[in-house]
A and B are shown apart, each in its own frame.
Chain A
Amino acid sequence: MTERSAPASSPSSSGWLSRLLMAREVSLVGLLVLVTLGTAAINPLFLSFGSVRDLLLNVSIIALLVVGQTLVLLMKHVDLSVSSTVGLSAFLTGSLFVAYPGLPVPLALLFGLGLGALLGIVNGLLVAYGKVPALVATLGTLYVFRGVTYAVVSGGQINASNLPPSFLGFGTGSVLGIPNLVLLALAVLVGFAYYLRSYRGGREYYAVGSNSEAAVLAGINVTRRTMTGFVLSGAIAGLAGVLYLARFGTVDATAGTGLELQVIAAAVVGGVSINGGVGTLAGAGLGALLLGVMGSALVTLRAPGFYQQAIQGALLLAAISIDMLVSRRAARRLQEERKS
């Protein structure tokens, strides 16, 4: 702790300033302001209380999921199965409420966490112990979990009328004007951001993704770290499933389909490298917010719904391309500095 407070008075303040301007987060905030003000200039309703609230509620689920995805991406893996976990958790939690209408909300959240963790264990076992590439393993479980959901749902649906008012109230409620879901997502995001930054366990995610062989030599238990990452990603997705149910009230077997794409896009736009070892949760959260604002701006500006998917794909491609060009330039500069 004392070590960290020392450099504040050191003469490297100009380096600190340039680093701040260089940071991915700053350019994201700039872009965010630009898109928001631009859209608001065309349609002032964009900044109305109701529309901002809706936007934040929608983003909070993606922002939550991006935390787990970042943990996995940092280790050079990927979790494509999150959307299926969200769907299964949302539907089973709904069924639980149908069976026990008096179920307290915290228990429902715990149920989602536990169920998600179980599904995460399946992914973790396949990747960490079965040595199945994460892409193949989670693409497989994406379909298996979704198939299980279809089998369980078998044409049924959970409606808001099946859910107790206390749970629906939790989904739409707020504390001091800030919606509950946003607070929850923010708490998870900040908690994990601090953990990744300042704890040995958190730093290990970066070490595993940068160079897993070196990480082994450094005494890191890579297998266990990988397992933990997938279990956390699953647990967070399970929690997100409960929130999805609380937010929308209605879920069927297709709930959450395609979310994995938005989550990965948000992480990559936020500066989390798909090659592992690089990225922050602050960036990933801002990436989620930026994509949410852009999506909602498109709706406000009355772009047809059919354009949404194409634009999302193009954004993801642009993000990874820019990421690659920037990191390549940084590597070249580093090499030149070393030569001189």
Chain B
Amino acid sequence: MNRFKGLLGWEFSLIVLVGAALLIGGLLSPDFLTGSNLSFLTANFSEVALMSLSMTLLIIVGEIDLSVASILGLCSAVIGVLFAAGVPMPLALPAAFVTGGLAGLFNGLLVTRLGLPSLAVTIGTLALYRGLAYVLLGDRAIAEFPAFYTNLGFGNVPGTLIPLPMALFAVLAILTVIVLHATPFGRALYAIGANGVAARFAGLQVERVKLSLFVLSGLMAALASAVYTFRFASARADNASGFELSVIAAVLLGGVSIFGGRGSVVGTVAAVFLIGIINGALTILDVSNEILTIVTGLLLIGSVLLPNLLTHFRTYQQRRRIQGDSVIQ
């Protein structure tokens, strides 16, 4: 119960921070709080947002997928190569989803069947999938996509300033909240993350659940690849390089424990927006990309370090209080 309360506190502070970031951005630049800028800014982190949903589930069960950005690149290459070869888009897109699903399945099989640590496996596939993208596409860029699809990438929901990819994200985020927090499957994820052995003894299909989450992670990366490819109207092998950091940073900053068993989708969504808005504000202030990299890295470290230091400080205080009491007695 106490832990639950602590988590709500963390999410609440994140939401306050999002508001503060918006306010500070608005004070520093008059262009920041305009509708079109906010629309552009949110569209800019839609791929990270999509992938952070499945990453939240994976990290809650105690696994991790460092290869998501590479799967995105590979799927993007598949879309590009097939389209350049004259395959119509309604066939190229499903091929990308099959590729993403298979890539996730391969990760999952290595982790669940061979019992390998997911960190090591996905460091390997991070290189493998990105390499396959280069094998497929080389350093070419495929850019001539039909207007219908590129409009899906950078268009808005008709009549509003909400980018289409973010509308998609909103629907999927709500679905994830329902699955994670209101179904037996969602509760099973926490049980597996908290104690996999106990969960197995309680009759949960730990391996099958983990395998399905790795496949889901690959499918989400495929979906993000479609968004990225159409948003930039460009299929390149190096699409979204390094995005895995932003995804993992968002999930950990959102309060999901790297050791599994703790976290919520609301926290992840708040953190995605916080990182996205900070990045957007820094960009509009002409702060260079280098500083953005440093800020994301620091957020990643800080999101784990600060709670640790806080716990340490609390136990230290408690111990002192106990010692003080015993002295008085």
Contact = CB atoms under 8 A, between A and B. Distances in A.
B8 interface: no
A136 to B, nearest CB: 5
B104 to A, nearest CB: 15
List of 7 A-B pairs having minimum Cβ-Cβ separation, nearest first: A310-B131, A313-B128, A313-B127, A309-B131, A143-B297, A147-B294, A150-B290
Contacts of B84: none
B238 to A, nearest CB: 11
Interface of A: 78, 126, 130-133, 135-137, 139-144, 146-148, 150-151, 154, 261, 264-265, 268, 274-275, 304, 306-314, 316-317, 320-321, 324-325, 328
B119 to A, nearest CB: 6
Contacts of B115: 324, 328
Nearest to B306: A130
A310 B128 contact: yes
14 contacts: A126-B301, A130-B309, A135-B119, A135-B258, A136-B258, A137-B301, A140-B301, A143-B296, A144-B301, A148-B290, A274-B119, A306-B135, A306-B138, A309-B127
Contact of A316 (B124, B252, B309): B124
Given A139-B300, A140-B297, A316 B305 contact: no
Nearest to A308: B131
Interface of B: 64, 110, 114-117, 119-121, 123-132, 134-135, 138, 245, 248-249, 252, 258-259, 288-294, 296-298, 300-301, 304-305, 308-309, 312
B121 A132 contact: no
Given A126-B301, A312-B131, A317-B124, A133 B293 contact: no
B199 to A, nearest CB: 21
Nearest to A152: B290
Contact of B294 (A126, A131, A136, A143): A143
Contact of B116 (A78, A141, A321): A321
A310 B127 contact: yes
A239 B186 CA distance: 49
A320 B121 contact: yes
Contact of B127 (A133, A261, A324): A261
Q: DSSP majority for the B interface?
A: helix
A143 B301 CA distance: 11
Given A130-B309, A143-B297, A325 B114 contact: yes
Contact of A321 (B114, B252, B304): B114
Given A133-B258, A144-B293, A314-B128, 12 more contacts: A130-B309, A131-B308, A132-B308, A136-B248, A139-B245, A143-B297, A146-B293, A150-B289, A151-B291, A320-B120, A321-B116, A324-B114
A143 B290 CA distance: 9
Contacts of A139: 245, 248, 297, 300
A281 B281 CA distance: 47
A314 B125 CA distance: 7
B131 to A, nearest CB: 3
Contacts of A309: 127-128, 130-131, 134
A294 to B, nearest CB: 14
Contact of A313 (B116, B131, B294): B131
B309 to A, nearest CB: 7
B123 A275 contact: no
A325 B288 CA distance: 47
